[in-house]
Every structure is written in structure tokens, then in C-alpha cells.
Structure 1
């Protein structure tokens, strides 16, 4: 099986298990690959680690839920695999440059881009659904 096929299987498995707490050992057992093989092939094909990919996908899902629902932040944090609202807020801020609450307040439904003021007069633009913080 090619590296791209293995990577595709890993990504598909992650997508189906984003809402669950899992380890690389559990993933490797279910996919029938060694943990080290999966990590090496995934990194070669994506340029990132499985852990970072999972974290990024969970944060994308959380950002989508923050923008599209009025559910409590703590509920979204727990649903997306974070053990606490504080851990979720730290990870979210690292990626999006703002807290989950600030992100939610800045979102305007129906737009693909949201703009918000970050500390002082520095403006940041965030792309919804898979975009990068600028």
C-alpha cells in the first residue's frame, strides 16, 4: 500500500473518531499498522504529525460549532476532545489568535471571512473552514 493510501486511511479514521478520546496505539491497532510506521508515513506525506493534524481538525470543528451554534464553550471543548475549557482556550488561542468567546462574538453568519480587532489596533483576519490565521 502506498504512503498516500496509508495517509488517506489515517485521515479517514481520524475524521470518524474526532469526537472520541483516542491514542495513537489504539489507532494503529484498528488500522493494523505499527504506530511508528503510521507516524513516519503520515509526516512524509503531509509535513505534519498525526497529533498536530488531529488537534488542528478538532479546533476546526470547534470553530465551526462556535460560529454556527449557541452551545456553551465548555460543551464544545469537551465534545472536541479537550479535558477542560482552559486547555481548549489555550489551544484555540494558539491557532486562532483569540479566545473561543472572542471568535464567536466576531463571527458574522453567512460570511466566509471574519475580521476582528486583536489587542490594540492590530487587525486579524480568519478564514472559516480550514483557513489560516493572518
Structure 2
């Protein structure tokens, strides 16, 4: 077990505010096919629209308009694969006024037409609804440490993965759960933990490739990825390069993860395709220091 520690940090957002954000997500689910009155809801919560957007982004990790668009297209993608509804009906249920507008929006984020996505029969989400129990994470309440994951961690790990799938194209839950179990068995999975699970990371079998890593959305804009990476570099892969794949430049589905990787010192390398999705390999050189 790692005895590296992370500095303490105070998170100003209180539980009532987070509860309101969760209620806002519930309300958005009821408006997947109709316009959502965000300004009216902000007034109902006694917030300005600007402040509510800020709270939402800090809690969920993406702005509300982006979250809602991704939720709508995720549920549309689910219907494409698991129902026989006509495309026009799916377009309307996703809040689009025409099949063409829906197809254009779908193609931008899924990189294929709705018809092709349905024919392929391979569903993956862009954004999942944040489950209430795990949304209450308030961040580190003391020292955080990196430790090997165990099978008992899987339920909480999966909850955190659900909150962070916007960083990973083609995230398929069944395949991911199987890969996670194998990684835990091979001691290739780690948990960053304070009083709660704050971050997760798994290595691919080849040993220097980060197959998956993420932090709770409330840490995403507070240096969480940098702190997790520093722990990982100093304890799991000391003095070694770290590789991973991420979105290519200009991908409309990227919610900012590529920019964060560049800021952390990762260097773009060769273009690749993973599960039919265009990605790019990025490498953090062995001599690149990451401060916690």
C-alpha cells in the first residue's frame, strides 16, 4: 500500500446545494424530449442562472447544456439499438424537431449516422444519469492514498465510472466490468481514497498503458487528475513513461479531457482506432515530473 499523502482541501459546496443539483438532473430527465426551462429552475432554486451553471459544472463535471445534450443522445442511441422505433420518433423523443437535425447532432458525437449505429448494434453511452448515493462525495476530508483495488471496491468503482464515462469513447459496461475484475485479480487496479473513493486507475496487461483512470467529477476542476497522476507516477510507474489513448483534436464528444492531458504534460503521438472510434495515443515522458 502506498503511503503517499495528498494535501488537505476544503470544498465549499454544501449538501443542500448538491441535493439541488441532483434534483435538477432528475428534472432534466423529464425534459429529454422537450425544452428545459433552466432559467426558471434557477429562479426556483433562488440562484442566478450563472451561479447554478457553475454549481452544476462543479458537481457533474460538464455544463448543464452539454450534459442535457449528451443525455438525450445517449437515450436515443439506446433506443436505436434496443428498439425498433422509427428514426423520426427517436429524433422527437430526443428533443429534435427533424430527423435531419437529430442525425447531424448524433453524427457529431457518435461519429456515425443513426442508421449505421443501429445496424452495428453496439450501444455505448455518452453520459449516464448520476446516481444519488454517490453524488454526495465532498472531496478529500484528510489525507488521500493510493492502494490496490479489491473485489469489494467494484460497486463503488462502477458508480464512479458511471460518473466519468464522458472521458472514454465506447464505454460498454459489461466489457468494462469484466476487464476490471481481471485487472483487480492481476493487481493492475488502484484506488485513490480518502474517507471516500476519489479516483480510480487501471493498467493494461502490457504494463505502461493506463487503460482507465478518472477522478470524481467534483475533483476534475480542482487538480484531481494531477494529484492522482502524481501518486501513480511516484508509486506504480516510477521513472517510466505513461501512455494512454484519448480523443483526437477537435472531437465534439470531448468534454475537455484532451486539454487536461496536454496541461499535465502528455504528448500527442500516433492516431489510432479503438472499437471503431478515432482516438489518439498520448504519452507522458519518463522524465516529466508531475507535482501532487
TM-score relative to the length of structure 2: 0.36
1:7 CA displacement: 1.8
1-side partners of 2:80 and 2:45: how far apart?
Answer: 32
Provide closer, same or farther for how the CA distance between residues 101 and 9 of structure 1 changes in structure 2, counting only shifts above 3 A: same
1:12 CA displacement: 1.2
The aligned counterpart of 1:25 is 39
Matches within 5 A, 1:57-96: 57-96=71-110
Structure 2: gaps spanning 5 or more residues = 1-13, 125-168, 177-252, 254-274, 278-292
1:127 CA displacement: 3.9
The aligned counterpart of 1:117 is none
1:45 CA displacement: 1.5
SS of residue matched to 2:35: coil
Q: Deviations over 1:18-77 (max 9, x none)?
A: 222223223334555432221010011222110000000000110011111111111110
Larger Rg: 2
The aligned counterpart of 2:199 is none
CA contact (8 A) 2:28 2:36 kept: no
User: Which of structure 1's runs of 4+ aligned residues deviate more than 4 A?
Assistant: 29-32
1:101 corresponds to 2:132: no
2-side partners of 1:40 and 1:85: how far apart?
Answer: 32
1:126 corresponds to 2:178: no
2-side partners of 1:126 and 1:44: how far apart?
Answer: 24
RMSD: 2.7
TM-score relative to the length of structure 1: 0.74
Matches within 5 A, 1:3-22: 3-22=17-36
The aligned counterpart of 2:49 is 35
Q: Which has the higher helix share?
A: 1
Q: Which has the higher strand share?
A: 2
Provide closer, same or farther for how the CA distance between residues 32 and 14 of structure 1 changes in structure 2, counting only shifts above 3 A: farther
Give the count of matched residue pairs.
Answer: 119
Provide closer, same or farther for how the CA distance between residues 96 and 34 of structure 1 changes in structure 2, counting only shifts above 3 A: same
CA contact (8 A) 2:20 2:45 kept: no
